[in-house]
Amino acid sequence: MFDTTIAGSLPKPAWLAETNKLWPQWQAQGAALTQAKKDATLLWIKEQEDAGLDIIGDGEQSRQHFVHGFLEQVEGIDFEHKVKMGIRDNRYDAMVPQVVAPLRLKGRVHALEAQFLRAHTKKKIKFTLPGPMTIVDTVADRHYGDKVKMAMAFAELLNQEALALQADGVDIIQFDEPAFNVYMKEAADWGVKALERAAQGLTCTTAVHICYGYGIQANVDWKNNLGQEWRQYELVFPALAKSSIQQVSLECYHSHVPPDLMKLLADKDVMVGVIDVASDEVETAEQVADTIGKALQFVPKNRLFPCTNCGLAPMDRDVALKKLKALAQGAALARQRYGS
């Protein structure tokens, strides 16, 4: 009960990449970089285990960014000529690669990381991939001329990689779809369908993470303008409830999401965000257990997985580590409080 997990990313050590950045530059190249990525992954596997987490990830130590890490292995994308584009409905600008030809995988994307993760922990492992809709919102289209068509093309590629990750021994494959909270109507119309295409044929657990983004200033400003009640999930959850996706990761602690929206997820597993990623203040075990208690009004205890609100990538390493511990300790306290 209350198996703990993180949304996905963790801070990269200073010897691997620039710290406190969403698109950090690597500190090494070639074979040295490959080794440094492995070392950082091993470090975070150990830290997650020692903190007491139940489901372990690679902390996305091998990707510069959660979307572009996947795209680097896709043919038909021009990475040499990135262009500036407003993403997430123009919330902030990013330098994005361009889709210039039909999309095809060059080969495996995350084989090394997944197999390395599987080899170094006996616990359940989760692997994250960007969702099709979020990818479409993070590239410039110079070829397809149609968002849905391009999303379905990406979904096919994601599906190829997801099936291979499952064969690598991954227990849970999670697609990250922050774009679902920005384009709610489109998410319900075709975003969920594209997601199901990406998860087609998987027999491992499938999950989707929908959040209000990393704790960067552009997101903080955006959230300040969303009003007293954040009801974005209300439009997407009914479509997800009817979908084949089994788990949904959502923001809860310190957000303005009305917790009763979790009811809309019907019989899905719910990864409840009990750790705020937009604040360096470390949660206490009591606060984490209290958040779990609130969610229990709407989610049965056998389907509740305490989680972080989003990735921890741009945070200080020390703070992130303390938050992992708070997550595990809070879940342990909740087991005592609500267990019987």
Which parts of this chain interact with Zn ion (CB under 5 A)?
211, 310
Least distance from Zn ion to the Cβ atom of residue 307, Å: 10
Least distance from Zn ion to the Cβ atom of residue 178, Å: 5
Least distance from Zn ion to the Cβ atom of residue 251, Å: 8
CB distance 92 to 218 below 8 Å: yes
Least distance from Zn ion to the Cβ atom of residue 101, Å: 30
CA separation for the pair 135, 328 (Å, rounded): 31
With respect to Zn ion, which residue has the nearer C-beta, 155 or 310?
310
Least distance from Zn ion to the Cβ atom of residue 265, Å: 17
CB distance 205 to 153 below 8 Å: no
With respect to Zn ion, which residue has the nearer C-beta, 165 or 211?
211
HSE, CB side, 13 Å, CA atoms: give it for residue 165: 31
Task: Say whether 46 sits in a helix, a strand or coil.
Answer: helix
Least distance from Zn ion to the Cβ atom of residue 67, Å: 11
With respect to Zn ion, which residue has the nearer C-beta, 16 or 307?
307
CA separation for the pair 91, 134 (Å, rounded): 14
Q: What is the DSSP letter of 264?
A: G
Count of beta carbons in the 10 Å neighbourhood of residue 223: 18
With respect to Zn ion, which residue has the nearer C-beta, 170 or 211?
211
With respect to Zn ion, which residue has the nearer C-beta, 96 or 307?
307
With respect to Zn ion, which residue has the nearer C-beta, 272 or 310?
310
Q: Which long-range contacts (CB under 8 A, 24 or more apart) does 92-98 make?
A: 92/216, 92/218, 92/219, 94/23, 94/138, 95/23, 96/138, 96/139, 96/140, 97/68, 97/71, 97/139, 97/140, 98/139, 98/140, 98/141, 98/142
Least distance from Zn ion to the Cβ atom of residue 249, Å: 8
With respect to Zn ion, which residue has the nearer C-beta, 182 or 211?
211
Q: How far are the Cα atoms of 16, 44, 66, 268, 311 from residue 19, in angstroms, in the given order?
A: 9, 15, 16, 36, 14
